[in-house]
Amino acid sequence: NAGVTQTPKFRVLKTGQSMTLLCAQDMNHEYMYWYRQDPGMGLRLIHYSVGEGTTAKGEVPDGYNVSRLKKQNFLLGLESAAPSQTSVYFCASSYPRAGGPTEQYFGPGTRLTVT
Amino acid sequence: RKEVEQDPGPFNVPEGATVAFNCTYSNSASQSFFWYRQDCRKEPKLLMSVYSSGNEDGRFTAQLNRASQYISLLIRDSKLSDSATYLCVSSIGSGNTGKLIFGQGTTLQVKP
């Protein structure tokens, strides 16, 4: 099993350009998440999904859109990139459990620079 | 107040030392707790789940104190390879979204 994979690993964008980050998981997990990590800020949740066809906003959703058309894929879109979106983006997945949330499994990250 | 608070460190310790990290969480309804390890420029990886009774995995021991709302991680006989950032994690209440809150991390540097 590959676990959680992310594409691309690195990207440089100019202000105003758009792009889509792809996350794929082969663990049949229901839940998927997109985070950004900035120095001194820790991991912040951008958007998440509790199942195919559903998405919800996290802590810092502005400037991003997501889609979960297939259970195994979770896409993060930047419609008009801004320098403030320079960050490392991590995707994660997990599964539901009656006793409370389970651990999340992370992809290797995408390092995005917006100039 | 942050939902999960950790001392960012860095903690600089010699090889073989014992080091302990604490973290506090603000939501008394949180049900799940974890410690993750993150190496520089890599993804976070699960180190341990934290159970009410405490749990041990080799040189690592995690404990939960629900009354005081803190979680601890003890590392015995530190190795150079333990140098990393350790993230304290709690669930967001008892909801069914699977969402977790990550602390900013505590940096550990183990010196020869």
pLDDT tens per residue, range B15-42: 999 999 999 999 888 888 999 999 998 9
| B32 near A CB under 8 A | yes
Residue A108: pLDDT over 80: yes
Q: How confident is the model at residue B93 (pLDDT cuts 50, 70, 90)?
A: low
CB atoms within 10 A of CB A62: 8
Among A70-79, B22-31, B74-83, B86-95, name the one with the lowest average pLDDT.
B86-95
- Of the candidates A71, A64, A67, which has an alpha carbon nearest to the alpha carbon of residue A89? A64
CB atoms within 10 A of CB B57: 10
CB B18 within 8 Å of CB B105: no
Q: How confident is the model at residue B81 (pLDDT cuts 50, 70, 90)?
A: very high
Residue B1: pLDDT over 90: no
Q: At A101, is the secondary structure helix, strand, or coil?
A: coil
- The stretch A82-92 carries a mean pLDDT of 97
- Of the candidates B84, B78, B85, which has an alpha carbon nearest to the alpha carbon of residue B112? B78
Average pLDDT, rounded, for chain B: 92
| B41 near A CB under 8 A | yes
Closest-approach residue (CA) in chain B for A41: B104
| A19 near B CB under 8 A | no
The pLDDT of residue A52? 96
- Please tell me the distance in Å from B32's CA to the nearest CA on chain A: 6
% of chain B with per-residue pLDDT over 70: 96
The pLDDT of residue B95? 63
The pLDDT of residue B94? 59
| A74 near B CB under 8 A | no
Question: B44 and A103: CB-CB below 8 Å?
Answer: no
Q: Which residues contact B55 (CB under 8 A, 6 or more apart)?
A: B48, B49, B61, B62
Question: A48 and B99: CB-CB below 8 Å?
Answer: yes
Cα dihedral: B72, B76, B81, B85 (round 10): 20
